[in-house]
Amino acid sequence: MIRQQDITYLDRKHKKRSWRFHQNPAISLCTWAFNHLDYVFYFQDASEDNGIHVPFTIGIQTPSQLQAMVSLDDNGAILMDATFGTNDVKFHLFTLMVFDAHCIGVPVA
């Protein structure tokens, strides 16, 4: 008998396979970014600049998220949330949301 736990496991395994192009997560994300340039509005590979580590950075936004951000009126609000260590590769994750005059939030990046 198949349990819900089995379905969830297979779903997660399939989703990981859809973006893991390499064992190194940074290389996988670089590959994904170059295959999805229409969603990437900012990209910077990890590097060293005069002895200072510059982290890998990617900004992702779908066309509908861009439209939601552009349509924000002057009475709206913007919220940015940051997390660390909540994903299996320990990347920092930032979410940008806009709120309209009715306090309805939409993630935009």
Write the pLDDT tens digit of every residue in 13-44: 656 555 566 777 777 778 888 888 888 888 88
Question: Residue 44 has which token pair?
Answer: 């910077």
Nearest-angstrom CA–CA distance, 35 and 56: 17
Token pair belonging to 90: 């320990």
Give the phi and the psi of residue 83 in degrees, each rounded to 5: -135, 160
What is the predicted pLDDT for the residue at 12? 66
Tokens standing for 26? 């940074």
- pLDDT confidence of residue 1: 47
Contact 40, 22 (CB under 8 A): no
Give the span between the Cα atoms of 92 and 16, in whole angstroms.
18
Given a contact cutoff of 8 angstroms between Cβ atoms, the answer to whether 32 and 38 are in contact is no
pTM here is 0.63
pLDDT in tens, 55-106: 778 888 888 888 888 877 666 678 888 877 666 667 778 888 888 777 788 8
* Alpha helices for 2-109 (secondary structure H): 4-19, 25-35, 63-70
Q: Does 107 score more than 50 pLDDT? A: yes
